[in-house]
Amino acid sequence: MATIVEVARLAGVSTSTVSHVLNDTRNVEPSTRAKVMAAIEKTGYRQDAVARAMRRARTDSIGLVVSDAGEPAFAEMVHGVEHAAAARGLTLVLANSAEDPVREERAVNTLLSRRVDGLIIARCAASSAAVSSRLESESPRPVVLLDRVFDNSPHDQVGADNRESMRRLVEHLQAAGHRRFLLVAGDQRVPTLVERFRGFRDAIRDADLPQQVVVDAVDMAEVREKVAAALEQGDATCVIASSTPLAVATLECLRDAGLTTPEQIAFAAFDGFSHSDLFRPTITTVRQPAFEMGAAAVSLLIDRLGAPDASPRTLRLNQTLELRESSENYRPGVS
């Protein structure tokens, strides 16, 4: 590749003039500019982003660490982040922690070492304290927490209105006549799942319902076991799964138990499945605006670059309650 020096020589100007033409950073005589453009054309010159980043304070890149690249919801967030970043001329550097704190820490270090202008991260469930302090000490490099938001976080964050959505979902199901629920709540180290659990508790308490069965196992095999046991005991009329993986496990249990939805038991899930309208049963779902969350994280990052000392913001995007067959047609008299 040609360098800026060759372009300058060919155009008969200094490298600084070439640089200024390239970046439009000071006035250049039209004729000079033309000579430079011609030289660029002839040499096939392209700016070297590495050398540029070396000199400047910024790299025009951002890092994203997701906790599970295999989950469709995270794939959507990646898509949203990429879209918003590209729209602002930022390049995306992607890493996946796969819910492993060691890989998470390695990913964060790699990205920081590459001098990304900012970092968006969906912390993994067992995220280490080392990562937290590393992130905090990295100021003024902005960090935005995605999906998994924390109380009193020193960082900007974007999540969903999990607690409120779960409450609305449960209220709807109660109004439809359900009084005995089985909540498949999942790993309670994950803030998102904690929030959903709290929303559930809120709704149960406010409706003066008795205690409900909650499965909060971490391991999926254990989840299946406990859900199966709870179904066997059998007084729940409605099952709620707090995430897609939990919904998969739950649906498998329902199938194994020979329970059909919604005839024998109602079902609802968070995050949901793609193209769910095309298949049966269609499942009542609280849908996360994953793409928008990713895009919003980029916005927060950009805002933060412009105002490093503003106090941290937590953004919560609304989830939508999509009512479908799996929670319909419940007949209180029959239960």
Partner DNA sequence: CTGTTAGCGCTTTCAT
Partner DNA sequence: ATGAAAGCGCTAACAG
- Overall size of the chain counted in residues: 335
Is the distance from CB of 185 to CB of 197 less than 8 angstroms?
Answer: yes
Angle, to 10 degrees, between the axis of helix 244-256 and the axis of helix 220-233?
50
Nearest to 64 by CA among 108, 30, 32: 108
Nearest to 124 by CA among 67, 208, 173: 67
331: contact with DNA by CB under 7 A: no
Question: What gap in Å lies between CA 240 and CA 120, rounded to an integer?
Answer: 30
32-91 positions binding a second copy, by CB under 8 A: 46-51, 53-54, 59, 61, 69-70, 72, 75-76, 78-79, 82-83, 86, 91
Nearest to 328 by CA among 162, 164, 175: 175
Is the Cβ of residue 96 or residue 157 nearer to a second copy in the bound state?
Answer: 96
Instruction: Quote the least distance from Cβ 20 to DNA, whole Å.
Output: 6
Question: What gap in Å lies between CA 173 and CA 171, rounded to an integer?
Answer: 5
Instruction: Quote the least distance from Cβ 48 to a second copy, whole Å.
Output: 7
25: contact with DNA by CB under 7 A: yes
The site string for DNA over 249-288 (x = CB under 7 A, - otherwise) reads ----------------------------------------
Mode of pairing for the β-strands spanning 91-96 and 118-121: unpaired
Residue 37: both structure tokens together: 């453009």
Using CB under 7 A as the binding criterion, the count of chain residues that bind DNA stands at 30
34-73 positions binding DNA, by CB under 7 A: 45, 47-48, 51-52, 54-56
Chain residues that interact with a second copy, rule: CB under 8 A: 46-51, 53-54, 59, 61, 69-70, 72, 75-76, 78-79, 82-83, 86, 91-96, 103, 107, 109-115, 248, 251-252, 255, 273-276, 278-281
* Chain residues that interact with DNA, rule: CB under 7 A: 1, 3-5, 12-20, 22-23, 25-29, 31-32, 45, 47-48, 51-52, 54-56
